Amino acid sequence: MMKKKLILILGDQLSLGLSSLAAVNPDNAVILMAEVRAEATYVRHHKKKIAFLFSAMRHFAEELSQAGWTADYVQYDASGNSGSLFGEVRRALSRHDIDEVILTEPGEWRLRDEMAEWELRLDVPVRILPDDRFLCSHEEFAGWAEGRKALRMEYFYRDMRRKSGLLMDGDNPAGGKWNYDAENRKAADRDLMMPQPLRFEPDDVTQQVIALVSAEFADHFGDLSPFWFGTSRDQAEAAFDHFLKTGLARFGDYQDAMLRDEKFLYHAVVSLYLNCGLLCPLDICRRVEAEYRAGRVPLNAAEGFIRQVIGWREYVRGIYWLKMPGYAQVNALEAKRPLPEFYWTADTDMACVRACVQQTKEEAYAHHIQRLMVTGTFALLAGVDPGELHQWYLAVYADAYEWVELPNTIGMSQFADGGLLASKPYAASGAYIDRMSDYCSGCHYKVKEKNGEKACPFNYLYWDFIARHKARLANNPRMGQMVRSYERFDDAKKQAIADDAKRFLGSLD
């Protein structure tokens, strides 16, 4: 009997066009998928995230079977489950007559580093293929980055537009501009009719997974119910179609807005489907472009969405693979404060932070401004250890994988790479949150007050951040003016800032 190929598919590789599947004939292959403890617990993932991925994996295994593949699927509570990917590959080799293990490159460095040793440990050839679901390869990004002092997304994004042809009119960008971000910063009105993401009732497979997660991961962060995520390709496609019809037209205008009782506004809420492979990035961008070309959505909405996918998403992946493994340890601002407990409990008098953490606990979701400008900005101002914050973001969001989350946290949110990724620290006072949200109304603190026990902590922590890092920021083109403003404060004002910051940060300790 002819030996077969063992194809290992990971939980974020739920794509029929995977390079490992394209490399073999279904008649000569066995697909291995496994729910393992090591992947579910290397950070304490949100219960909803685990349930989503386990159910999506089970549905994908069924999709593979219907497409003619032989799927060997190991459930979490299966007898003999070794608890690790390596252990399950080794067990599969004992069940099947295999002459080679083939897999698409994992998205995270820790797995890629571990898998480099598998061939020696397993005594069977292990072939790791590129993940060609992305527009830009590692080699292409490294070539783009070579010789550049700063790696700004805008210039990379323009190259990806040219390469893909998206929103291009010949050699020129549609509308004459590459970027319409300046039009995408409106505060939302509560009387607007807000769409909701498409919700799905859990089927029998998902209900079984929910019961498993409830029993096995009871001490993990987050609410497991109500569970409404789609868990199959058809449901992911339906969720995106729903966004195209109900949310995309206003996504551009209001993508930075925040409202206390509106968790989703006009956001697509499909990044969890995209990042696990149920949606194809180039396909959804083409469908967004088609909506613009048909006159159904404005250019700023289509461009803003496409920039997030072929611009920012591809760019942070490039940064990740270019700079790992050392990138995970950088801490240019020498921030050492432990992550405050309220990031897990939402037990804080700061209404904005409380709302974002509570929403995260309930939904395993918050949109990018809630992450960057609320939980991220507070951590930056308070001097929270960027590594601890990174571990939190990785754990609590259903769309979080290290390749996409780490650069967003280390580079964009915390400026811990010293400006490789972002041109300035994303530091802001309470005025920004007040302008872009309704969180400040009814808050225990007063956003208009600059000092004292009732003042918004973001206000004096902002200036305390400037004071702590003035030597580094003085020559930053976008922050130097703020340093000069601080230096013009009289001694009494500087002392009040220092005293308020010391009092508040002391309460965290």
Q: What is the DSSP letter of 444?
A: S
Q: Provide the pLDDT confidence category of residue 239 given band limits of 50, 70 and 90.
A: very high
Q: Provide the pLDDT confidence category of residue 2 given band limits of 50, 70 and 90.
A: confident
User: What is the model's pLDDT at position 191?
Assistant: 64
- Please count the CA atoms within 13 angstroms of the CA of 506 that sit on its side-chain side: 6
> pLDDT tens across 351-399, in order?
999 999 999 999 999 999 999 999 999 999 999 999 999 999 999 999 9
420 in Cβ contact with 151 (< 8 Å): yes
Instruction: Kindly report the three-state secondary structure assignment for every residue of 448-496.
Output: CCCCCCCECHHHHHHHHHHHHCHHHHCCCCCCHHHHHHHHHCCHHHHHH
> pLDDT tens across 468-502, in order?
999 999 999 999 999 999 999 999 999 999 999 99
Question: What integer is the mean pLDDT of 257-285?
Answer: 95
**What is the model's pTM?**
0.96
Please report, rounded to a whole number, the percentage of residues in the chain having pLDDT higher than 90.
92
Q: Which domains does the chain have, with CATH numbers?
A: 4-129 (3.40.50.620), 138-195+247-318 (1.25.40.80), 342-508 (1.10.579.10)
